[in-house]
């Protein structure tokens, strides 16, 4: 997965200590495959589970509204928030149980089911006598999320592009981080927080949400208005903790907002920006964006741009809407919408 971050490996710590002793004793032949608890190669994210935050928000509002109606009083937003956080706590624990079940099932398989992974050390640390858990225990087991923006709108009528919304968003991420850190210690497995790249799931989740909660088919949740006042039906929830598409801002402001949350995604995250005009003639501008993201400690940065290239004459067009080359008329055109790969964390 493109946004994977493999952090400190709880299962390499003993190896790390013993390997240091082997070095001190000059017993180099006894050094194990996994040398460092910070090793990245030969590891990966294993079986993520993603929590749909807007669904939890809608469930929380409905529960508090029902209680308030019985008591003939208004629905209190702070009560909704407490209910949401309690429900999120429960779902994170359920996600942990699902991940443990999946992990144990995977580890029960024969190494022959993915033989190449152990032969070429795609998953490092494999010892035949111990089984494939010897390699997989070094992977990262992640609990993901999507729809931060919509969840906050459902509960409060604003999202994390506001000061108050950002405060709430950080409380959500602090809960994620605390619980996954506790799981890591308890189960000695590398649990982590994941900002899911849920391109297809975001659409599936929204379609199911509309059927389950038609009362929340409202502005900024299932549709928005563009700058010309046109109503735009959304086809997906906002991915993970990203700024929603309807929020008008420049790339630097988007980095400012999302960089306040990316550090919580210790198992994987991304921040990307849209470039409206061609960067081909503004390389300095692209460099400034990358430097700015680096200064804000964004671990993984990408830029969305618009490039089409003709296979016939090689003409490069800074537009994705063309179906043929304006220079030679050829319809065989490659189109590129994103440049990814500024993995800038130290």
pLDDT tens-digit series, residues 95-135: 999 999 999 999 998 888 888 887 777 888 888 888 899 88
Would you state the pLDDT for residue 13?
75
Q: What is the CA radius of gyration of the chain?
A: 23
Q: What is the pLDDT of residue 340?
A: 53
Residues 162 and 227 in one domain: yes
Average pLDDT in the 165-193 region?
A: 97
Residue 34 has pLDDT above 60, yes or no: no
Residue 344 — very low, low, confident or very high, per pLDDT cuts 50/70/90? very low
Full DSSP string of 69-95:
HHTTSPPPHHHHHHHHHHHHHHHHHHH
What is the reported pLDDT for 345? 40
Q: Give the model's confidence band at 16: pLDDT under 50 very low, under 70 low, under 90 confident, else very high.
A: confident
**Which of the four pLDDT bands, split at 50, 70 and 90, describes residue 167?**
very high
Domain total of the chain? 2
Domain that holds residue 331: 270-346
* Overall average pLDDT of the 139-144 stretch: 93
Instruction: Identify whether residues 185 and 221 lie together within a single domain.
Output: yes
Residue predicted with more confidence, 173 or 47:
173
Q: Which of 248, 269, 290 is the last residue of a domain?
A: 269
Question: What local confidence, expressed as pLDDT, does residue 24 receive?
Answer: 83
Q: Is 126 exposed, middle or buried (0-12, 13-18, 19+ CB in 10 A)?
A: buried
The two tokens of residue 177 are 């981080």
Q: Distance between CA atoms of 176 and 300, rounded to whole angstroms? A: 20
Q: Collect all residues with Cβ–Cβ distance below 8 Å to 271 and sequence separation of at least 6.
A: 242, 254, 255, 258, 259, 262, 293, 298, 300, 301, 302
Average confidence score pLDDT of the chain: 87
How large a percentage of the chain has pLDDT more than 90?
54
Pairing of strands 300-310, 231-233: unpaired
Strand 190-194 to strand 140-146: parallel, antiparallel, or no bridges (unpaired)?
parallel
Beta pairing, strands 300-310 & 271-274: parallel
Q: Select from 61, 252, 82 the least CA-distant residue to 153.
A: 61
Selected residue with higher pLDDT from 116 and 215: 215
> What pLDDT is attached to residue 277?
58
Q: What is the pLDDT of residue 53?
A: 98
Task: Name the domain boundary from 227, 244, 269.
Answer: 269
pLDDT at residue 279 greater than cutoff 80: no
Q: Supply the pTM of this predicted model.
A: 0.86
User: Would you say residue 4 lies in a domain?
Assistant: no
Query: Any idea which of 7-16, 179-188, 241-250 has the lowest mean pLDDT?
Result: 7-16
Same domain as 276, residue 257: no
Does residue 90 lie within any of the structural domains? yes
Residue 146: strand pairing partners:
52
User: Which span out of 18-32, 197-211, 247-261 was modeled with the highest average pLDDT?
Assistant: 247-261
* Lowest mean per-residue pLDDT among 65-79, 167-181, 265-279: 265-279
Mean pLDDT, residues 82-95: 98
Rounding to the nearest 10 degrees, give the CA dihedral for residues 128, 132, 137, 142: 170
pLDDT digits (tens, 9 = 90+) for 329-340: 888 888 776 555
Lowest average pLDDT, out of 45-59, 270-284, 286-300, goes to 270-284
Compute the 3-state secondary structure of the chain and give helix, strand, coil in percent, each to the nearest 5: 45, 15, 40
Tokens (6 digits) for 189: 């497995």
* Domain shared by 290 and 246, yes or no: no
Picking from 94, 101, 104, the residue whose alpha carbon sits closest to that of residue 143 is 94
Structural domain includes residue 329: yes
The structure tokens listed for 323 are 């179906």
Residue 237 sits in the same domain as residue 284:
no
Q: What is the pLDDT of residue 346?
A: 33
- 3 confidence band (pLDDT: 50, 70, 90): low
Which position has the higher pLDDT, 47 or 55?
55
Report the CATH number at residue 142.
3.20.70.20
Give the angle subtended at the CA of 198 by the CAs of 195 and 201, to the nearest 5°: 135
């Amino acid at each position: 997965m493109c946004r994977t971050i493999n952090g400190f490996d709880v299962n390499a710590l003993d190896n790390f200590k013993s390997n240091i002793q082997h070095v001190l004793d000059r017993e180099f032949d006894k050094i194990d495959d996994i040398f460092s608890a910070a090793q990245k190669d030969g590891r990966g994210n294993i079986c993520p589970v993603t929590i749909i935050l807007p669904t939890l928000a809608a469930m929380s509002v409905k529960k508090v509204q029902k209680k308030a109606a019985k008591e003939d009083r208004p629905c209190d937003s702070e009560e909704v928030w407490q209910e949401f956080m309690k429900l999120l706590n429960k779902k994170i624990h359920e996600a942990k149980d699902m991940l443990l079940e999946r992990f144990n099932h995977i580890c029960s398989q024969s190494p022959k089911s993915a033989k190449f992974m152990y032969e070429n050390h795609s998953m490092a640390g494999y010892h035949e006598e111990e089984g494939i858990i010897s390699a997989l225990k070094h992977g990262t087991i992640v609990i993901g999320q999507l729809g931060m923006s919509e969840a906050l709108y459902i509960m409060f009528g604003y999202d994390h592009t506001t000061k108050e919304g950002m405060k709430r968003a950080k409380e959500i991420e602090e809960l994620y981080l605390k619980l996954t850190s506790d799981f890591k210690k308890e189960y000695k497995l590398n649990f982590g927080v994941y900002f899911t790249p849920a391109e297809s799931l975001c659409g599936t989740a929204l379609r199911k949400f509309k059927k389950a909660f038609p009362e929340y088919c409202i502005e900024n949740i299932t549709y928005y208005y563009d700058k010309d006042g046109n109503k735009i039906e959304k086809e997906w929830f906002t991915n993970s903790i990203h700024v929603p598409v309807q929020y008008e801002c420049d790339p630097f402001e988007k980095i400012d907002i999302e960089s306040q949350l990316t550090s919580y995604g210790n198992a994987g995250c991304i921040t990307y920006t849209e470039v409206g005009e061609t960067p081909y003639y503004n390389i300095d501008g692209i460099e400034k964006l990358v430097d700015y993201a680096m200064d804000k400690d964004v671990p993984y940065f990408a830029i969305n741009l618009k490039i089409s290239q003709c296979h016939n004459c090689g003409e490069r067009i800074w537009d994705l809407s063309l179906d043929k080359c304006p220079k030679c008329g050829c319809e065989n055109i490659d189109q590129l919408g994103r440049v990814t790969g500024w993995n800038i964390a130290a």
